Amino acid sequence: MSAAEADAQQRRWRILVDERLPEAAAAHPDWPVTRNHCFARILLDNACGGPWRESVAPPAWANMPPERLALAVSLGEAVLAGRQDLAALNRRSLLWRRKRPVAPPPKGLSGDGFSLRRWRLADDGPFAALCADPEVMRFFPAPKTARESQAEARALDRRFEEDGFGPWAVEAPEGFAGFVGCWRPARPLPLGGLIGRETGLVEIGWRLARSAWGRGFAVRGARLALADAFTRCALTEIVAYTADRNGPSRRVMERLGMSEVGGFDHPGLPEGHSLRPHRLYRLAAADFLAGDAV
Ligand SMILES: CC(C)(COP(=O)(O)OP(=O)(O)OC[C@H]1O[C@@H](n2cnc3c(N)ncnc32)[C@H](O)[C@@H]1OP(=O)(O)O)[C@@H](O)C(=O)NCCC(=O)NCCS
């Protein structure tokens, strides 16, 4: 964007939040805000995927990267055109600012021909079967025993109580098919050099029975889980990582629009192990939500 175009965009932004939105508010008693600075907060937070002051120094209209300001402007235009729900954008902004409590996890999330739900004891058998399948576990150090799988299933479901989100059980037409969802890594990973922090991360992952592969459950399930994590839980970024050689898992990350950040050696695997080299991907809430923003 040239300097003149950036200038014109900044002018559009100021007219939008100082004049057009406050004037339009008179005809929209359902809008949660009426003042220019409230419109600016909502649009800027949603364009940044979190409280805008965490990534931009004030004044935002002057310091915001032009592509982010462009997103904020198009969000505002979409609100004016009735294509975006200002109340939903406001809820997200207030959640990010911790001005609203996070709602408890829903019982499940519905997809087209499948659903995500909380774990059941009856999942133990099919989960143990998929974790004992050497083909499913070929990018893990080893398949798991039934006892290890049962302990893992309990630990995965406990995440919902501890964090308010977790890896969902995938319910296919034929029953339990594996899991997809988000969780906090159990121990810090050496990611400081790649993304500048090693704690406070949330990752997304998946593991499906072989009979469920190639049916889009991982990508479509992950989109449901991400939408829930970025809206209800107001997370601002989610990472994913896998062994370099795990092409199917990397393809899921790419289909989700995640950006590859770089490589690192997984500290849980010994030097020289073929699965030790890992790739890290990241996805910002703003980029995911922009998909349905304008
Ligand atoms: C990683 C894993 C979940 C990916 O499964 P997958 O079946 O390849 O991924 P999806 O369920 O999203 O399916 C995508 C495929 O389904 C196809 N598909 C069919 N219907 C679809 C639909 N409605 N929507 C999207 N994709 C669809 C896609 O075309 C795609 O196939 P392609 O990659 O050959 O083009 C699976 O390989 C697995 O469980 N691996 C073992 C465990 C593992 O490694 N986990 C990751 C550890 S980091």
Task: Please indicate, yes or no, if residue 261 is contained in any of the structural domains.
Answer: yes
Q: Give 219 Cα–ligand 1 centroid separation in angstroms.
A: 7
Task: Please indicate, yes or no, if residue 199 is contained in any of the structural domains.
Answer: yes
Q: How many CA atoms lie within 13 A of 12 on its CB side?
A: 16
Cβ–ligand 1 contact at 281 (below 6 Å): no
Give, for all 294 residues of the chain, the pLDDT tens digit: 788 999 999 999 999 999 999 999 999 999 999 999 999 999 999 998 889 998 889 999 899 999 889 999 999 999 999 999 999 899 989 988 988 888 999 999 999 999 999 999 999 999 999 999 999 999 999 999 999 999 999 999 999 998 899 999 999 999 999 999 999 987 778 888 888 777 778 999 999 999 999 999 999 999 999 999 999 998 989 999 999 999 999 999 999 999 999 999 998 899 999 999 999 999 999 889 887 544
CATH number at residue 242: 3.40.630.30
Nearest to 116 by CA among 225, 16, 231: 225
Q: Give 281 Cα–ligand 1 centroid separation in angstroms.
A: 17
Q: Is the domain of 178 the same as that of 41? A: no
Q: Give 216 Cα–ligand 1 centroid separation in angstroms.
A: 5
Q: Is the domain of 161 the same as that of 262? A: yes
φ, ψ of residue 242 to 5 degrees: the values are -160, 165
4, 125, 148, 172, 208 from 128: Cα distances, Å: 61, 5, 8, 17, 12
Task: Supply the pLDDT for residue 294.
Answer: 45
Cβ–ligand 1 contact at 206 (below 6 Å): yes
Last residue of a domain, one of 66, 96, 126: 96
User: pLDDT per residue over 5-57, tens digit each?
Assistant: 999 999 999 999 999 999 999 999 999 999 999 999 999 999 988 899 988 89
Q: Is the domain of 51 the same as that of 115? A: no
Last residue of a domain, one of 42, 62, 96: 96
Q: How far apart are the C-alpha atoms of 152 and 119, rounded to whole Å?
A: 11
Last residue of a domain, one of 70, 96, 122: 96
Q: Give 144 Cα–ligand 1 centroid separation in angstroms.
A: 21
Q: Is the domain of 211 the same as that of 276? A: yes
**How many domains is the chain partitioned into structurally?**
2
Cβ–ligand 1 contact at 246 (below 6 Å): yes
Task: Please indicate, yes or no, if residue 103 is contained in any of the structural domains.
Answer: no
Q: Is the domain of 49 the same as that of 166? A: no
Q: Is the domain of 83 the same as that of 113? A: no
Q: Is the domain of 92 the same as that of 128? A: no
Q: Is the domain of 190 the same as that of 77? A: no
Task: Please indicate, yes or no, if residue 101 is contained in any of the structural domains.
Answer: no
Q: Is the domain of 133 the same as that of 91? A: no
What secondary structure, in 3-state letters, does the chain show? CCHHHHHHHHHHHHHHHHHHHHHHHCCCCCCCCCCHHHHHHHHHHHHHCCCHHHCCCCCHHHHCCHHHHHHHHHHHHHHHCCCCCHHHHHHHHHHHCCCCCCCCCCCEEECCCCEEECCCHHHHHHHHHHHCCCCCCCCCCCCCCHHHHHHHHHHHHHHHHHHCCCEEEEEECCEEEEEEEEECCCCCCCCHHHHCCCCCCCEEEEEECHHHCCCCHHHHHHHHHHHHHHHCCCCCEEEEEEECCCHHHHHHHHHCCCEEEEEEECCCCCCCCCCCEEEEEEEEHHHHHHCCCC
Q: Is the domain of 216 the same as that of 121? A: yes
Q: Is the domain of 19 the same as that of 162? A: no
Q: Is the domain of 239 the same as that of 148? A: yes
Task: Please indicate, yes or no, if residue 39 is contained in any of the structural domains.
Answer: yes
Cβ–ligand 1 contact at 219 (below 6 Å): yes
The whole domain housing 24 covers: 3-96
Taking the CA of residue 209 as reference, the ligand 1 atom at the shortest distance is: 39
